[in-house]
Chain A
Amino acid sequence: MEGMGNEALGYLGAGIGAGLAVLGAGIGIGNIAASAAEGTARNPEATADIRTTMIIAAALIEGVALFGEVIAVLLVLK
């Protein structure tokens, strides 16, 4: 662990951070999609409503994930 300067640690942190952010987003949106699929299976009439809700929720969660991404990018570029 000696040869790692601050920059390297910065890059490492950025990489891990970005990975974790994407992981969180993936799990979250996966849950949403699962619930949406189940809801549609139970009640095919509400498909349009469920789809709209799913897209909105997915966009919100991606927004949160992108907060993390932005921090990671900044860390890399600084």
Chain B
Amino acid sequence: MKRFSAFRAGEFARIAILIIPLLFGIGTIARAASSDAGHGEESAGDVIMHHILDSNKMEFDPFGSFALPKLVIGGFDLSITKHVVFMWLAAIILLAVFLYVGNYYKTIGSRKAPGGVANVMEAIVQFIRLDVAKSNIGEGYERHMPYLLTVFVFILVLNLLGLIPYGASATGNINVTLTLSVFTFFITQVAAVKAHGIKGYLAHLTAGTHPALWIIMIPIEFIGLFTKPIALTIRLFANMTAGHIVILSLIFISFILKSFIVAVFVSVPFSVIIYLLEIFIAFLQAFIFTMLSALFIGLASSHDESHEPEAAH
């Protein structure tokens, strides 16, 4: 009996993995169709942008929409937009899952092997702890573990939330990714100062050249400090946004061409494939962001640094 139900569960999971992207595709088609009908003669580009951009309304076409509160505090527009709502949703999901896991570890402790959800989360934690943090940062990696772990799961959940119907990925908004990169930037600089001291930190700006060259070196190095976080920002943002744009474009092809055959044989299959690719890219980008953060922290706080030309740009 137990084997029977396990077999059924495996079958169900396999079918679900294949069908759900299809449903998402159809859902977005329905969404796009109704929004098309509702907005009349909007061009496809505008509709796509409409789905990608942040907005003050939570829209559940064709079920209606409701407006989100606009807060203007002291001249700053702190209104709650769609992406903010999704970030809160991601935070709630994260807290729910990981508080359970943390409680599990408090009660069970270290003597027994974990089971269930805690097991999966532990695999993630161990992966980041050993492969990402320890190998890139080396000594003293424990202090940066909480930040790296949080960033990884946060970005992961945000990315994945963008893939469900009516979802929008907050990481497709450059402000969000910019904030996360700024966090990494601050942590990197603080780690560098802690490792080398203020003088050492400033000395790295000159990169050991003759004082006569300082007038050129310092601005260049200073700007070089900022390229890495900017690269992080744009990489995450562009990956997520481009993925969504591609999916939406594929789906809208069938509407632009107003042909059913194209929809069935071209649009939906390609959308499904791109959807699966997007799931992979969601994981990958979260991992890359975390790994590059760890790498920068490690580079900044290493004690026998050697200035190599930057490989990322």
Find chain B residues with CB under 8 A from A66 CB: 234-235, 238-239, 242
Count of A-B residue pairs with CB < 8 Å: 39
The contact of B231 among A62, A63, A69, by CB within 8 Å, is: A63
Q: Which B residues between 183 and 240 are near A, CB-CB below 8 angstroms?
A: 231, 234-235, 237-239
Find chain A residues with CB under 8 A from B20 CB: none
Bound-state Cα–Cα, A66 to B288, Å: 15
Check if A69 sits within 8 Å of B45, measured CB to CB: no
Contact bitstring A55-78, B, C-beta under 8 A = 1, else 0: 110011011101101100100110
Find chain B residues with CB under 8 A from A60 CB: 235, 288, 311-312
Chain A residues bordering chain B, tally (CB within 8 A): 15
Check if B288 sits within 8 Å of A69, measured CB to CB: no
Bound-state Cα–Cα, A69 to B242, Å: 8
Find chain A residues with CB under 8 A from B49 CB: 77
Q: Report A24 CB to chain B, min CB distance, Å.
A: 14
Q: Report A17 CB to chain B, min CB distance, Å.
A: 14
Find chain B residues with CB under 8 A from A55 CB: 284
Check if A63 sits within 8 Å of B234, measured CB to CB: yes
Contact bitstring B300-313, A, C-beta under 8 A = 1, else 0: 00000000000111
Give residues in B with beta carbon < 8 Å to A. Answer: 45, 49, 131, 231, 234-235, 237-239, 241-242, 245, 284-285, 288, 291, 311-313
Give residues in A with beta carbon < 8 Å to B. Answer: 52, 55-56, 59-60, 62-64, 66-67, 69-70, 73, 76-77
In the complex, 21 of the A-B residue pairs with CB atoms within 8 angstroms, ordered by the A residue number, are A52-B131, A56-B288, A59-B235, A59-B284, A60-B311, A60-B312, A63-B231, A63-B235, A63-B288, A64-B313, A66-B235, A66-B238, A66-B239, A66-B242, A67-B234, A67-B238, A69-B242, A70-B234, A70-B237, A77-B45, A77-B49
